[in-house]
Amino acid sequence: MTDTTERTPLLKVEHLSKEFPAEAGMFAKRFSKRVVSAVNDISFEIYPGETFGLVGESGCGKSTTGRSIMRLTKPTAGKVFFEGRDISEMNKHELKDMRREMQFIFQDPYASLNPRMTIGEIVSEPMTIHNVGTKEERMETVRELLDVVGLNPEHINRYPHEFSGGQRQRVGIARAFALKPKLIICDEPVSALDVSIQAQVLNLLKDLQDKFGTAYLFIAHDLSVVQHISDRVGVMYLGKLVELSDWKTLYTEPHHPYTQSLLSAVPVPDPDIQRTRKRIILAGDPPSPLDPPSGCRFHTRCPMASERCSQDQPSFNEVAPGHFCACHYAEPFPIKESHIDL
């Protein structure tokens, strides 16, 4: 994780921005002056075989980032390089080829599977689209995949409604792995599941990664889940990446006040710790992305904001090797002491 400078990135996101027109309608794109700045100038890299976690609260732009990388929505500015090729410039055919290497796992296991298709059809569809193998070979692969994700291969002709939430998510995972992609974007893959099932799916994703060497972009709002699965983690607030580092540094020495308060807001399932630990409770709601605050976007809720924060936008600086933070007053926060030794 620390030797990231040596390796070539699989995915490189450079100054990516995505704005949506605030008014709907035919001419909105051309004439609308008000825009929702969902993602604003973010950059990061994902290396082969690693898991990059992206956390943040609802509306911070983490899903839009995932969708822009996949070109499910066209970025307003910035570039996305996949294996050195610029995705934002690709035409339809090039995109189709590229998507063989990049797949998606969706949040809602109920809405993301077509209720009229059998499990076999769903899982084999990516192979059908990309003309992989004969029909028999595809079905054979589907059976193997179902087995790998922990479903009974004999259920190949069943329909999604016959499965529970956790099992459906396994079907979605099997589909994402059908083409053995190099990168899978997981958008909140476990947030709709119960804890015991969530743990099953997280373990499965880890096993599959070990087996196929796939890289994940893991988007979630649950910090403990992201910590568990990720090698490196980026924290987003209101369309901006505010901090990025390897998981351990981020969770033990968060520099950005937002990361610090986010971590301290997560209730720990241990009454002894919970009763004694110090917490920073942020006041108010996140501001609207329609009209983001000037300067640092977090300054309206930040416990340590100064005059400067409301005017100057902090740059995304490297505070330690591989550890980036966008704050004028970035300082290590020894979470270990404040959480436990109190």
**What is the distance between the alpha carbons of residues 221 and 314, in angstroms, rounded to a whole number?**
24
**Residue closer to another protein (CB basis): 11 or 55:** 55
**What is the distance between the alpha carbons of residues 105 and 285, in angstroms, rounded to a whole number?**
29
Taking residues 162 to 181 in sequence order and writing x for each that binds another protein by CB under 8 A, - otherwise, the string is --x-xx--------------
Identify the residue among 79, 180, 228, 328 touching another protein (CB under 8 A). Answer: 228
227 near another protein, judged by CB under 8 A: yes
Taking residues 58 to 97 in sequence order and writing x for each that binds another protein by CB under 8 A, - otherwise, the string is x---------------------------------------
**What is the distance between the alpha carbons of residues 257 and 305, in angstroms, rounded to a whole number?**
9
Q: Residue 235 is inside which H or E element, if any?
A: strand 232-237
**Residue closer to another protein (CB basis): 184 or 205:** 205
| Contact between 201 and 171 (Cβ < 8 Å) | no
**What is the distance between the alpha carbons of residues 250 and 19, in angstroms, rounded to a whole number?**
28
Piece of the chain touching another protein by CB under 8 A; list 61-69, 136-144, 262-270, 311-319: 262-270
CA proximity to 2, closest of 40, 50, 37, 42: 50
CB of 129 to another protein, least distance (A): 31
Identify the residue among 47, 52, 106, 251 touching another protein (CB under 8 A). Answer: 251
**Residue closer to another protein (CB basis): 214 or 259:** 259
100 near another protein, judged by CB under 8 A: no
Residue 236 tokens read as 């987003």
Please tell me whether residue 301 adopts helix, strand or coil conformation.
coil
The total of other beta-carbon atoms located within 10 Å of residue 286's CB is 19
**What is the distance between the alpha carbons of residues 212 and 185, in angstroms, rounded to a whole number?**
15
Q: Which of residues 265-284 bind another protein (CB under 8 A)?
A: 265-274, 279, 281-283
| Contact between 84 and 71 (Cβ < 8 Å) | no
233 near another protein, judged by CB under 8 A: no
2 near another protein, judged by CB under 8 A: no
| Contact between 78 and 17 (Cβ < 8 Å) | yes
309 near another protein, judged by CB under 8 A: no
User: What residues line the site for another protein (CB under 8 A)?
Assistant: 57-58, 164, 166-167, 194-200, 202-203, 221, 223-225, 227-228, 251-252, 261-262, 264-274, 279, 281-283, 285-286, 336, 340
